[in-house]
């Protein structure tokens, strides 16, 4: 399965990929995008099975990205990896169709717990 990692920080995308490997998801293919707009294009061209997106990004934020996907009828599995961990943010994310929200700093275990329930 392809996993699209969307974050405006290249270093953070690398950390997410490394942590996903440590969590046992290393056999999946990783694709990257630097913001929600790029992510939207990658979803269309790459058809990933899962999107992991940051919340705060330039050009198009993570929540705008999720809303744009859902407005197009795209139901790709979507989760946030973000420092925005308030209950209000979590409720908004889940209400818009995200499956989970993993807060930074994260661990391999937090990815196993969040993603494991949604990815085989």
Q: What is the pLDDT of residue 119?
A: 74
Q: State the pTM of this model.
A: 0.96
Q: What is the pLDDT of residue 48?
A: 97
Q: What is the pLDDT of residue 120?
A: 59
pLDDT (mean) for 57-86: 96
Name the CATH superfamily for 2-116: Response regulator (3.40.50.2300)
Q: Judge whether residue 69 has pLDDT over 80.
A: yes
- In sequence order, what are the residues at sequence separation of 6 or more whose Cβ sits closer than 8 angstroms to the Cβ of residue 28? 1, 2, 3, 20, 49, 119
Q: Judge whether residue 65 has pLDDT over 90.
A: yes
Q: What is the pLDDT of residue 118?
A: 80
pLDDT (mean) for 60-81: 97
Q: Judge whether residue 98 has pLDDT over 90.
A: yes
Domain boundaries, the chain: 2-116
Q: Identify the band that residue 116 occupies on the pLDDT scale cut at 50, 70 and 90.
A: confident
Q: Is 29 exposed, middle or buried (0-12, 13-18, 19+ CB in 10 A)?
A: exposed
């Amino acid at each position: 399965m392809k996993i699209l990692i969307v974050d405006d920080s290249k270093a953070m995308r690398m950390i997410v990929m490394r942590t996903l490997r440590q969590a046992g998801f290393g056999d999946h293919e990783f694709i990257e995008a630097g913001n929600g707009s790029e992510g939207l294009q990658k979803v269309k061209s790459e058809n990933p099975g899962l999107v992991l997106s940051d919340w705060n990004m330039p050009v198009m934020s993570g929540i705008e990205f999720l809303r744009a996907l859902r407005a197009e009828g795209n139901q790709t599995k979507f989760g946030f990896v973000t420092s925005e961990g308030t209950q209000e943010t979590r409720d908004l994310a889940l209400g818009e169709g995200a499956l989970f929200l993993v807060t930074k700093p994260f661990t391999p275990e937090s990815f196993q717990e969040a993603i494991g329930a949604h990815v085989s």
